[in-house]
Amino acid sequence: MTRAVLGGVWALLLLLVAASAARSAEAPPVSLIEIDGAITPITVRLLDGALERARTERAQALIVQLNTPGGLERSMRSMVQSILSSDIPVIVYVAPAGARAASAGVFITMAAHVAAMAPATNIGAAHPVAVGGGGGADKEMVKKIENDVAAFARTIAAERGRNVEWAEKAVRSSVSATEREAVKLRIVDVIANDVPDLLSKVDGRGLKTKKGPVTLQTRGADVKRIEVRFRDRFLALITDPNMAYILMMVGMLGIFFELSNPGSVLPGVIGGISLILAFFAFQSLPINWAGLLLILFGLVLLIVEIKVVSHGILTIGGVVSMLLGSIMLYDAPETELRISWFVIVPTVASTAGIVVFAVSAGLRALYRPPSTGVSGMVGKTAVVKTPLDPEGHVLVDGELWRAVAQDGKAAPGDGVRVVAVDGLTLKVTKAANPR
């Protein structure tokens, strides 16, 4: 009897293990992409590409592992639209520990079919900041922007069944919440230590997608990471505010050197490519054109300083103009969309130094006494080859010239100095020492 019971237990366990294994084998995979950094048009491209890749691989869901300080509102709205209209469930997972979903990240997280956070993470502070930090913006316009963003937050929260009141407070009062507070306030759905834990906790959850109701079967499902392609990495690199700024400065210097030295080719090629890449990046960044004009004006002042005696006033003005322009170049409150001081100071200093050095060197060469040709002969020392009485021949730089002595006779071997050139005849005087 005992053996029969034990045999039955073992058989039941084997059946359960087999059923679990069969379920895992049958469960479609889950795709995962990591988005780390400011929200820009590049992240929009990454999300859309990840959704398309997940569809191609017949994934049952897409996990977006998110860590962002915020970003551009236009890009954020595009990502939210993609998530809301997705026929594949999107799980936004704020991770790893120490990560955040701030500003634009709040809307993206709330728009997800499932919102999750890792321990020691936070979400919130979604108040819109006016252009230039809001200091000079019209109060009525700021109010309109705030109302528009608050309404957007409410509608997303209502669509996903999340806390509408907190969503509005995140916009109007910049409130934030930890992962535990977020679960209690119904901002997110679960707290997960890692991706396997997340898949286990959302398993069996019913969701509403564009195609209709979907039930997740994620426990033990394979996770397929979507690697960012080289092209997207390159685009993300050049659209970094610091890199775009450096490309612009290099481009301006390259064009400047090409115009100063026509035919040098290399500076023009490098400058042209750099400027094109910089302007491509500027299309994706919140550019303040007043800042760009200040940088160009500063460069002009540095060039003018070489030709106009201002006792350093133009140089100081040029450096100050470039510094102010660099600070104002981007209209964005997020630090990730500003230029670092560790980039601004060396770049402005090196640009000013290079321009001043190059232009001053060119002017020195322009006003230097000629050293070749007929005019370059004046002042040179020659050696008498045939007696000058007063006419004869002298040797100058290995060349034999007809010469006329203007202060008496000169014997062969004597040193004379050229004082004038008359056609092909040199006028010379005695020199102290022969060369």
User: Do 389 and 321 reside in the same domain of the chain?
Assistant: no
User: Active-site residue among 85, 143, 144, 360?
Assistant: 144
Looking at every residue in the chain, the average pLDDT score rounds to 82
Concerning whether 307 is annotated as a catalytic residue, the answer is no
Domain membership flag for residue 213: yes
**Mean pLDDT, to the nearest integer, of 380-392?**
85
Domain membership flag for residue 130: yes
pLDDT tens, 297-338?
A: 888 887 776 677 666 677 788 888 888 888 888 766 555 667
User: Do 326 and 416 reside in the same domain of the chain?
Assistant: no
Concerning whether 103 is annotated as a catalytic residue, the answer is yes
Q: Could you give the percent of the chain with pLDDT greater than 70? A: 83
Domain membership flag for residue 114: yes
User: 363-398 b/e with 16+ CB inside 10 Å = b?
Assistant: eeeeeeeeeeeeeebeebbbbbeeebeeebbbebee
State the Cα torsion 314-316-319-325 to the nearest 10°: -80
Which residues lie across from 399 on neighbouring strands?
A: 396
Write down the pTM of the prediction: 0.68
User: Do 344 and 253 reside in the same domain of the chain?
Assistant: yes
Q: Reply yes or no on whether the pLDDT at 64 is more than 60.
A: yes
Report pLDDT for 132: 41
Give the helix/strand (H/E) hosting 419.
strand 415-422
State the pLDDT confidence band at 189, using cuts at 50, 70 and 90: very high
User: Do 251 and 322 reside in the same domain of the chain?
Assistant: yes
User: Do 221 and 342 reside in the same domain of the chain?
Assistant: no
**Mean pLDDT, to the nearest integer, of 120-142?**
70
**Mean pLDDT, to the nearest integer, of 375-395?**
82
Residue numbers of the domain that contains 401 = 375-430
CATH assignment at residue 59: 3.90.226.10
Query: Which residue did the predictor score with more confidence, 125 or 339?
Result: 125
**Which of 127-141, 177-191, 321-335 comes out lowest in average pLDDT?**
127-141
Domain membership flag for residue 280: yes
**Which of 367, 385, 417 is a domain's end point?**
367
Q: Reply yes or no on whether the pLDDT at 83 is more than 60.
A: yes
State the pLDDT confidence band at 205, using cuts at 50, 70 and 90: very high
Query: Which residue did the predictor score with more confidence, 147 or 345?
Result: 147
Query: Which residue did the predictor score with more confidence, 346 or 100?
Result: 100
Query: Which residue did the predictor score with more confidence, 372 or 245?
Result: 245
**Which of 182, 208, 228 is a domain's end point?**
228
User: Do 294 and 148 reside in the same domain of the chain?
Assistant: no
User: Active-site residue among 75, 78, 103, 176?
Assistant: 103
User: Do 86 and 214 reside in the same domain of the chain?
Assistant: yes
Judge contact between 250 and 55, C-beta under 8 A.
no
Q: Reply yes or no on whether the pLDDT at 423 is more than 80.
A: no
**Which of 344, 367, 390 is a domain's end point?**
367
User: Do 150 and 122 reside in the same domain of the chain?
Assistant: yes
| Sequence-distant (≥ 6) Cβ neighbours of residue 54 within 8 angstroms | 31, 61, 62, 88, 226
Token digits for 336? Answer: 């990730």
Handedness of CA 11, 13, 16, 17 (dihedral sign): negative
Judge contact between 407 and 382, C-beta under 8 A.
no
Q: How many domains does the chain have?
A: 3
**Mean pLDDT, to the nearest integer, of 160-173?**
94
CATH assignment at residue 402: 2.40.50.140
User: Do 73 and 155 reside in the same domain of the chain?
Assistant: yes
User: Do 40 and 91 reside in the same domain of the chain?
Assistant: yes
Report pLDDT for 333: 58
Domain membership flag for residue 268: yes
Report pLDDT for 22: 45
User: Do 332 and 379 reside in the same domain of the chain?
Assistant: no
User: Do 135 and 62 reside in the same domain of the chain?
Assistant: yes
Domain membership flag for residue 338: yes
